[in-house]
Amino acid sequence: GESVGLHLPTLSVQEGDNSIINCAYSNSASDYFIWYKQESGKGPQFIIDIRSNMDKRQGQRVTVLLNKTVKHLSLQIAATQPGDSAVYFCAEKSNFGNEKLTFGTGTRLTIIP
């Protein structure tokens, strides 16, 4: 069945460095991908999204890359700050059927001061 998985469950990065969080998906019908940030005790917060007709999208300090050939998604965070410490989830949505999002288990990013 469809699944979204993450390569690394934890990631520690020095403050000021760049971080890269990776995600693999298996559903070829996925046409929309989202990265969420979830801080302890809070709901997921939208960071950035990308559609399947794109391979790169940039936001403020964040970039999402999509490689449909290998079904891989990544989130790059530039010049990390302590406030970037959180769990990051990728989620995907298929253009068939209902509008559900399928999430992976998440990567915990820790910024080291």
Partner 1 sequence: ETGVTQSPTHLIKTRGQQVTLRCSSQSGHNTVSWYQQALGQGPQFIFQYYREEENGRGNFPPRFSGLQFPNYSSELNVNALELDDSALYLCASSGGAEDTQYFGPGTRLTVL
Binding site for partner 1 (CB under 8 A): 4, 32, 34, 36, 42-46, 49, 89, 91, 93, 97-106
All residues at 6 or more sequence positions from 39 whose CB lies less than 8 Å from its CB, including other chains: 45, 86, 87
Nearest distance from residue 73's CB to partner 1, in Å? 14
Instruction: Quote the least distance from Cβ 26 to partner 1, whole Å.
Output: 15
Return the half-sphere exposure (C-beta side, CA atoms, 13 A cut-off) of residue 89: 17
Nearer to partner 1, 43 or 113 (CB): 43
Q: Tell me the closest approach of the beta carbon of residue 43 to partner 1, in angstroms.
A: 4
**Which residue's CB is nearer to partner 1, number 42 or number 60?**
42
Nearest CB to partner 1, comparing residues 65 and 101 = 101
Residue with Cβ nearer partner 1 (99 or 113): 99
